[in-house]
């Protein structure tokens, strides 16, 4: 270390070149870092999707979901299975155990699914893929009054243009229906010509296909043979023959049915600012820069708008580049604020030159961090920017300690080079250890398990590389700058005069010295009082006065209004309900509202968390930013609750905000039981109990009755006439849904060729009673003769957890309520659930499950960080016991956090705990330097008590400087952040409150603790009859 410092002082030209190289290379790397909202991350999970057209939820569960669950359970690495079975489709989510090889798991799962022997013929092949969280860049909305067929052409042109832009990974289109070709049969004509719907479908299916005919070898060369039959033109399809009559006439399709082009039945519907719309969600690849991409998309839309046909317009929503730009501005403002704080504080305590050379550590640390981010492949996202903001106040701590010590020797009369050499050598190892302990604390965050740990991964990496960059500046660049830039040593009277120009500090120092003398004189009383305060902080949490939430709420620019109608409602009925919410949103003041998009048939939390259903609706509201909006998001939501009210048919209404990180519902209770009635009864009891809590809102359950269901059972007569279930189902399906004769292509889109009854017949219940089916003999018989019809009520959705049917109850809580306490009270109330409802079990999910997993791993990470920090301190002090004195700063730093959040009336959260983890490294820094100085004084022959008082007096200035700069750098993020940045404020607040507390403990409690340790060592030596160690 001495050699490095000597090299720095002796080679100012080389050092300045290193300094400039870091700034230049970092500046060149910065534009190459992709900017994005959040980093994409895998959920350590696999998703399986299956489409089973026209199957009920019970059939989907029995024939598709359960076999896939059994296949997944047979694959090693399966941790948890969650499945949803609905009409027409199934979705199975598989959570993997830690350290499971994802690609190997996917391969084995696909093999197990392929081995399922009784897979339904009509079900499509399952799609198996990795679950990833990808954040969209922007949503482009085409809206207006143009007809759907012409709108499709415009959408395809726009999609192609957007996909050609650099770094666009995908453009997903929502709101377009698939094209279809309809053959709507006339029942009377079918009877007259003795043709059934299956006969018509079979005749057409064999005609409208292009097939290869092989090749023909000739002397002139090879000829390819093709049989052409595909046809999509309705008029020409109508002329296709079906059968020949005995008299020679040909029965054609047009004689039996009407041929037309149509669209698939709408399952979703969307509007933009109240107009019919089609949405295009644009996502980026790994190298894409969100701000540049949005600029390119806006330019592309400006060129595209003049080509739009009348009646169609284009607008954008969910522009996530705004968040990135805001965070970049926050980073710049925090950097400038931190720089100003460093300059002012150092100018007050030292002088202008020392302040300037210390402040240069900020750009060096940031550009050094950027270089390492580029090498490690870390993007400039909200989390990496947060890490920069977080450490801006810390990156100069090592430089402050070094400069202050050099400045002290300069004040004592040493020339600049000698002062730089001696001052840097005295604190070089403590400075190295302080940075290493802080990096150890941040690095322990990498041990946090679950999605939260994966999501937060950029923070410890960016913080660590930035701190190491600041260490390089402090040990290599700073000694050279101090030796070159500081003026020659002033005579002793001048130095005394310089000190006299800061009389406020001399007075403050005298007050501290008297207070320190009182503390070390009554050290046992001081320690007892400190531990009493620590017990009081624990009592605040235990008594519920200090609450805990997993992730804090923040002021969001975008929020969703989710609604549910009765599960028996059609899409059109639900759309009318969504339109009422639309009108309420449209009534907001223009200065508060930027845009809104409404969806019917689906609700999204993000791209991987969504629900489908004709009874579901969602309105995405994007608020304006800036000074024009006077009300907070929460106030606007409460206003909307009043505007919407309780319109007829509304089952539930929920206000949700996009997750700033992975999280579930604040309250999520899961009930399982083998018996359906027991499960329903238990869920009803828990639901009713939760509804009684005044702070609980948006309470809902996924146990909803499904639509009416008609079940057909063959009669004995029907079987005698030659019918079986397959023949009957095929004819009923063809009559009302349509028999898919072929899949053709209309332009670039696939189109089903459907043979079925006219729409009027398919929408009238009487036509089912009057339906005639054809027996194998050719006889046409009424349906009622061959089958019994029974009407029942099924389920809208079947949810299974770990291969058992389950009911999930979710709820949100108001700010004055605490989800953890409510869940604990529910668990106490239903502790005897199995006795009241035999076979029923209840467990927590959502935030509560994430809390248990993440907090458990966080505690382990804190333990590892403490052990690593202890080892580093033990190596520095060459003592087993002195690290314990330094580590006193950590729990007493937590003391300040507890009282600080209690005074603010804010709950502590997972982000607060992360702040505590970072604090465990930062808080020991001042204590470390203080104890090291005491040891140096004792090594020079000073007595223990005198060494403690001397160390406190000398080290008071750097302790105050480092604390004030760290607190000042974090203040904008902690108390003045807005929007999504407020999500990160609790971590900064924890560091500020902890630094205030740990600074006081460093200046008062650590000296007292050091002397208590020496008292105990002396007492032990007397008991053992040995002389105490010096």
CA-CA distance, 840 to 830, in Å (whole number)? 11
Best mean pLDDT range from 153-162, 317-326, 740-749: 153-162
Domain topology for 2-36+323-493+505-550+851-1024: Multidrug efflux transporter AcrB transmembrane fold (1.20.1640)
Task: Give the pLDDT of residue 852.
Answer: 61
Task: Give the pLDDT of residue 159.
Answer: 93
Report, as an integer, the average pLDDT of 656-684: 78
Q: Are 484 and 417 in contact (CB under 8 A)?
A: no
Report, as an integer, the average pLDDT of 528-552: 81
CA-CA distance, 641 to 648, in Å (whole number)? 15
Q: Are 881 and 956 in contact (CB under 8 A)?
A: no
Task: Give the pLDDT of residue 975.
Answer: 80
Binned at pLDDT 50, 70 and 90, residue 160 comes out as very high
Best mean pLDDT range from 512-516, 534-538, 850-854: 512-516
Report, as an integer, the average pLDDT of 698-722: 83
Report, as an integer, the average pLDDT of 134-155: 84
Between 56 and 497, the more confident residue is 56
**Average pLDDT score over the chain:** 84
Report, as an integer, the average pLDDT of 494-501: 48
Length of the chain counted residue by residue: 1030
Q: Are 166 and 308 in contact (CB under 8 A)?
A: no
Residue 614 three-state SS: strand
Task: Give the pLDDT of residue 497.
Answer: 47
Between 708 and 587, the more confident residue is 587
Structure tokens, 32: 């190459």
Report, as an integer, the average pLDDT of 391-403: 82
Q: Is residue 847 predicted with pLDDT exceeding 60?
A: no
Whole-number percent of the chain with pLDDT over 90: 18
Q: What is the 3-state secondary structure (H, E, C) of 221-279?
A: EEEEEEECCCCCCHHHHHCCEEEECCCCCEEEHHHHEEEEEEECCCCCEEEECCEEEEE
The residues near 48 (Cβ < 8 Å, ≥ 6 apart) are 68, 72, 90, 91, 92, 94, 109, 113, 126, 127, 128
Beta-bridge mates of residue 251: 243
Report, as an integer, the average pLDDT of 36-43: 70
Q: Are 962 and 972 in contact (CB under 8 A)?
A: no
Of 455-469, 787-801, 973-987, give the lowest mean pLDDT range: 973-987
Q: Is residue 807 predicted with pLDDT exceeding 60?
A: yes
Q: Which of 869, 910, 926, 919 is nearest to 890 (CA)?
A: 919
Identify the helix (H) or strand (E) that includes residue 708.
strand 705-714
The position carrying tokens 């309809």 is: 182
Task: Give the pLDDT of residue 495.
Answer: 44
Please indicate whether the domains covering 41-133 and 559-689+818-844 agree at the CATH topology level. Answer: yes
What Rg do the C-alpha atoms of the chain give, in angstroms?
Answer: 36
Q: Is residue 242 predicted with pLDDT exceeding 80?
A: yes
Binned at pLDDT 50, 70 and 90, residue 584 comes out as very high
Domain topology for 41-133: Alpha-Beta Plaits (3.30.70)
Identify the helix (H) or strand (E) that includes residue 741.
strand 739-746
Give 255-275 pLDDT, tens digit per residue. Answer: 999 999 988 888 888 888 888
Domain 559-689+818-844 indexed as CATH 3.30.70.1430: yes
Give 119-132 pLDDT, tens digit per residue. Answer: 998 899 999 998 87
Q: Write the burial class of residue 706 (CB in 10 Å: 0-12 exposed, 13-18 middle, 19+ buried).
A: buried
The pair phi, psi for residue 79, each rounded to 5°, is -105, -45
Q: What is the 3-state secondary structure (H, E, C) of 94-146?
A: EEECCCCCHHHHHHHHHHHHHCCCCCCCCCCCCEEEEEEECCCCEEEEEEECC
Binned at pLDDT 50, 70 and 90, residue 494 comes out as very low
Binned at pLDDT 50, 70 and 90, residue 1030 comes out as very low
CA-CA distance, 361 to 476, in Å (whole number)? 11
DSSP secondary structure letter of residue 34: P
The residues near 912 (Cβ < 8 Å, ≥ 6 apart) are 897, 901, 986, 987, 989, 990
Report, as an integer, the average pLDDT of 588-602: 88
* Alpha-carbon torsion, ordered 457, 462, 468, 469, to 10 deg: 170
The residues near 647 (Cβ < 8 Å, ≥ 6 apart) are 577, 580
Beta-bridge mates of residue 713: 788
DSSP string covering 551-598:
S-----SEEEEEEE--TT--HHHHHHHHHHHHHHHHTS-TTTEEEEEE
Report, as an integer, the average pLDDT of 378-401: 81
Q: Which of 1029, 998, 965, 997 is nearest to 886 (CA)?
A: 998
The position carrying tokens 């005298």 is: 510
CA max distance for the chain: 131
Q: What percent of the residues of the chain are helix, what percent strand, and what percent coil, each to the nearest 5?
A: 55, 20, 25
Report, as an integer, the average pLDDT of 641-666: 77
Give 295-347 pLDDT, tens digit per residue. Answer: 999 999 999 999 999 889 998 888 878 877 877 777 677 667 767 877 788 78
Task: Give the pLDDT of residue 162.
Answer: 93
CA-CA distance, 841 to 670, in Å (whole number)? 8
DSSP string covering 314-347:
EEEE--THHHHHHHHHHHHHHHHHHHHHHHHHHH
Q: Is residue 879 predicted with pLDDT exceeding 50?
A: yes
CA-CA distance, 842 to 95, in Å (whole number)? 20
pTM above 0.75?
no
Structure tokens, 537: 């902080």
Distances in whole angstroms, Cα of residue 76 to Cα of each of 68, 72, 107, 114? 14, 8, 12, 17
Structure tokens, 792: 């029942």
Q: How do the domains of the chain map onto residue ranges?
A: 2-36+323-493+505-550+851-1024, 41-133, 559-689+818-844
Q: Which of 63, 191, 177, 186 is nearest to 116 (CA)?
A: 63
Give 183-241 pLDDT, tens digit per residue. Answer: 888 888 888 888 888 888 888 888 888 778 888 887 777 888 888 888 888 899 889 99
Binned at pLDDT 50, 70 and 90, residue 911 comes out as confident
Binned at pLDDT 50, 70 and 90, residue 509 comes out as confident
Q: Is residue 554 predicted with pLDDT exceeding 70?
A: no
Beta-bridge mates of residue 463: none
DSSP secondary structure letter of residue 607: S
Structure tokens, 197: 């719907």
Report, as an integer, the average pLDDT of 888-900: 85
Q: Is residue 81 predicted with pLDDT exceeding 50?
A: yes
CA-CA distance, 59 to 113, in Å (whole number)? 18
């Amino acid at each position: 270390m001495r050699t490095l410092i000597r090299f720095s002082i002796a080679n100012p030209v080389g050092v300045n070149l290193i300094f400039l190289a870091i700034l230049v290379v970092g500046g060149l790397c910065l534009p190459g870092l992709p900017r994005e909202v959040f980093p994409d991350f895998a959920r350590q999970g696999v998703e399986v999707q299956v489409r089973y057209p026209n199957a009920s939820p019970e059939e989907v569960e029995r024939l598709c979901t359960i076999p896939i669950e059994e296949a997944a359970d047979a694959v090693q690495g399966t941790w948890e299975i969650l499945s949803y079975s609905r009409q027409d489709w199934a979705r199975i989510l598989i959570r993997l155990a830690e350290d499971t090889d994802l690609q190997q798991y996917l391969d084995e799962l696909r093999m197990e699914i392929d081995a399922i022997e009784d897979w339904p013929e009509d079900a499509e092949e399952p799609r198996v893929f990795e679950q990833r969280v990808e954040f969209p860049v922007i949503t482009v909305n085409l809206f207006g009054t143009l007809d759907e067929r012409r709108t499709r052409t415009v959408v395809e042109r726009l999609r192609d243009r957007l996909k050609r832009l650099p770094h666009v990974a995908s453009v997903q289109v929502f709101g377009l229906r698939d094209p279809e070709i309809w053959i709507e049969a006339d029942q009377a004509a079918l009877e007259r010509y003795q043709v059934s719907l299956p006969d018509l479908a079979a005749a057409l299916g064999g005609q409208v296909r292009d097939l290869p005919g092989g090749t023909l070898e000739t002397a002139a060369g090879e000829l390819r043979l093709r049989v052409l039959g595909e046809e999509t033109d309705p008029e020409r399809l109508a002329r296709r023959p079906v059968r020949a009559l005995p008299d020679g006439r040909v029965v054609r399709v047009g004689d039996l049915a009407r041929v037309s082009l149509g669209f698939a039945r709408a399952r979703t519907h969307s509007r933009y600012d109240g107009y019919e719309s089609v949405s295009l969600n644009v996502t980026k690849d790994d190298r894409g820069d969100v701000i540049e991409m949005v600029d390119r998309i806006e330019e592309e839309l400006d060129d595209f708008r003049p080509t739009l046909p009348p009646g169609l317009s284009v607008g954008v929503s969910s522009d996530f580049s705004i968040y990135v730009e805001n965070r970049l501005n926050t980073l710049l403002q925090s950097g400038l604020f931190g720089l100003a704080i460093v300059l002012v504080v150092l100018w007050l305590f030292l002088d202008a030159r020392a302040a300037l050379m210390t402040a240069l550590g900020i750009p060096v640390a940031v550009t050094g961090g950027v270089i390492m981010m580029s090498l490690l492949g870390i993007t400039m996202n909200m989390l990496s920017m947060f890490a920069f903001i977080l450490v801006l106040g810390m990156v100069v701590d090592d430089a402050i300690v070094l400069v202050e010590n050099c400045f002290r020797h300069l004040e004592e009369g040493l020339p600049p080079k000698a002062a730089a050499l001696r001052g840097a050598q005295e604190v070089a190892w403590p400075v190295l250890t302080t940075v290493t302990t802080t990096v150890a604390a941040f690095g322990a965050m990498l041990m946090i398990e679950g999605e939260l740990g994966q999501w937060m991964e950029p923070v410890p990496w960016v913080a660590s590389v930035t701190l190491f960059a600041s260490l390089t500046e402090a040990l290599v660049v700073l000694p050279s700058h101090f030796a070159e830039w500081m003026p020659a040593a002033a005579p002793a009277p001048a130095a005394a005069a310089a000190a006299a120009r800061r009389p406020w500090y001399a007075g403050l120092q005298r007050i501290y010295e008297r207070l320190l003398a009182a503390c070390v004189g009554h050290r046992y009383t001081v320690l007892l009082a400190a531990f009493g305060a620590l017990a009081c902080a624990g009592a605040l949490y235990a008594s519920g006065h200090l609450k805990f939430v997993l992730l804090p709420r923040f002021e969001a620019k975008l929020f969703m209004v989710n609604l549910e109608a009765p599960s028996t409602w059609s899409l059109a009925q639900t759309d009318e309900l969504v339109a009422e919410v639309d009108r309420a949103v449209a009534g907001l003041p223009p200065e508060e509202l930027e845009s809104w998009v409404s969806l019917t048939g689906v609700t999204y939390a993000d791209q991987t968390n969504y629900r489908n259903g004709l009874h579901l609706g969602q309105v995405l509201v994007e608020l304006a930013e800036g000074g024009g909006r006077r009300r907070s998001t929460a106030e606007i939501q409460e206003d909307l609750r009043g505007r919407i009210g309780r319109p007829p048919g509304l089952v539930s209404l929920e206000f949700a905000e996009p997750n700033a990180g992975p999280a579930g519902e604040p309250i999520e209770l899961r009930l399982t039981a083998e018996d359906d009635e027991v499960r329903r009864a238990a869920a009803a009891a828990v639901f009713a109990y939760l509804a009684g809590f005044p702070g609980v809102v948006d309470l809902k359950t996924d146990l909803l009755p499904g639509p009416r269901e008609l079940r057909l059972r063959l009669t004995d007569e029907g079987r005698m006439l030659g019918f079986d279930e397959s023949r009957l189902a095929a004819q009923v399906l063809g009559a009302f849904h349509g028999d898919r004769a072929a899949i053709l292509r209309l332009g670039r889109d696939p189109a089903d060729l459907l043979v079925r009854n006219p729409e009027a017949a398919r929408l009238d219940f009487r036509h089912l009673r009057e339906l005639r089916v054809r027996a194998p003999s050719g006889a046409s018989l009424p349906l009622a003769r061959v089958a019994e019809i029974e009407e029942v009520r099924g389920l809208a959705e079947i949810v299974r957890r770990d291969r058992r049917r389950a009911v999930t109850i979710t709820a949100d809580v108001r700010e004055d309520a605490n989800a953890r306490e409510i869940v604990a009270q529910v668990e106490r109330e239903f502790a005897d659930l199995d006795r009241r409802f035999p076979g029923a079990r209840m467990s927590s999910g959502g935030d509560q499950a994430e809390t248990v997993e993440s907090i458990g791993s966080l505690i382990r990470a804190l333990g590892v960080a403490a052990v690593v920090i202890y080892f580093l301190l033990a190596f520095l002090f060459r003592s087993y016991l002195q690290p314990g004195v330094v580590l006193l700063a950590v729990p007493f730093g937590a003391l300040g956090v507890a009282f600080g959040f209690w005074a603010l009336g804010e709950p502590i959260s997972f982000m607060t705990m992360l702040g505590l983890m970072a604090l465990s490294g930062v808080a020991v820094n001042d204590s470390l330097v203080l104890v090291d100085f005491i040891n140096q004084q004792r090594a020079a022959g000073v007595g223990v008590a005198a060494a403690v008082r001397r160390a406190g007096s000398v080290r008071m200035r750097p302790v105050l400087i480092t604390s004030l700069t760290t607190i000042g750098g974090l203040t904008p993020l902690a108390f003045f952040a807005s929007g999504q940045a407020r999500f990160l404020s609790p971590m900064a607040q924890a560091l500020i409150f902890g630094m205030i507390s740990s600074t006081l403990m460093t200046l008062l409690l650590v000296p007292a603790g050091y002397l208590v340790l020496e008292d105990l060592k002396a007492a032990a030596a007397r008991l053992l009859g040995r002389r105490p160690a010096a």
